[in-house]
Amino acid sequence: MKLQGRRIIVTGAASGIGKAIAARFLSEGARVGLIDRSASALQQAAEALGKGVTSAVADVSDEAAVKGAVANIVATLGGIDGVVNSAGIDLLRPFADMPSSEWHAVLAVNLNGPFHLCQAALPHMRRAGPGGTIVNIASAAGLRPLDHRTAYCASKAGLVMFTKALAMDLSRDGIRANVICPGIIETPLFRASYENAPDPQAELARITDRYVIKRVGQPDDIASAALYLSSAESSYVTGTALAVDGGRSFH
């Protein structure tokens, strides 16, 4: 029970990586606040996860909505000891064809969203005392660029450096901040990146071939890393970008 008694907020918690992280944290003794923009999916996730969860609907790009969601979760959990920013969106678009509205939309979720949650949660984490943890879910695309994903790569690279700077700013509060950079993970977001190709299986094989470990990662692979970075086992780790990417970042 590595998270016994801890109260942790997870965004993007209705599916994919966020839901897997929430489930793992619950199994390790945490109480978890779920945030997602889809009310129906969030309700289903909360019911499936069961005891120990509370939830609040919010689009992380909306600062006021995030503040309200955090306040509601704190009212139920009694405080916050950690956060995991897992909400994110992708965009496959050649730069020359990208309207500025799409650029801003991607950064609003992938980079502004973690800023909003960290700011809203910080006063509560300070009140909880030293030992707070922030885990941001970026991407291997924040370490190594991809074709036709200018906005996505920029947002995830920004999230990596945001986390490192945050680790410095919050060290005096005893709060650690780290970022995970996943490779291809079996989620609805990843499936959407190849299912519309003329030959989806050929496209999946082409993507997988870039990796040293020739398989698609699972949400639980990222949940394991998030558990480590949110627990006392990583008490001497902060400002780290942990690539959980099947070797893609060096291959």
Write out the two tokens for 61: 């790009």
Q: Contact 190/156 with Cβ under 8 angstroms?
A: no
CA distances to 130, 141, 156, 243 from 179, rounded to whole Å, are 19, 13, 10, 9
Other beta carbons within 10 angstroms of residue 219's beta carbon come to 21
Q: Contact 131/81 with Cβ under 8 angstroms?
A: yes
**What is the pairing mode between strands 176-182 and 7-11?**
unpaired
Q: Is 152 a catalytic site residue?
A: yes
Q: Where are the beta strands (DSSP E) in the chain?
A: 7-11, 31-36, 53-57, 82-85, 133-137, 176-182, 241-244
CA–CA separation, 165 vs 171, rounded Å?
Answer: 10
SS3 94: coil
Which candidate in 152, 211, 228, 236 is catalytic? 152
Q: Kindly list the catalytic residues.
A: 152
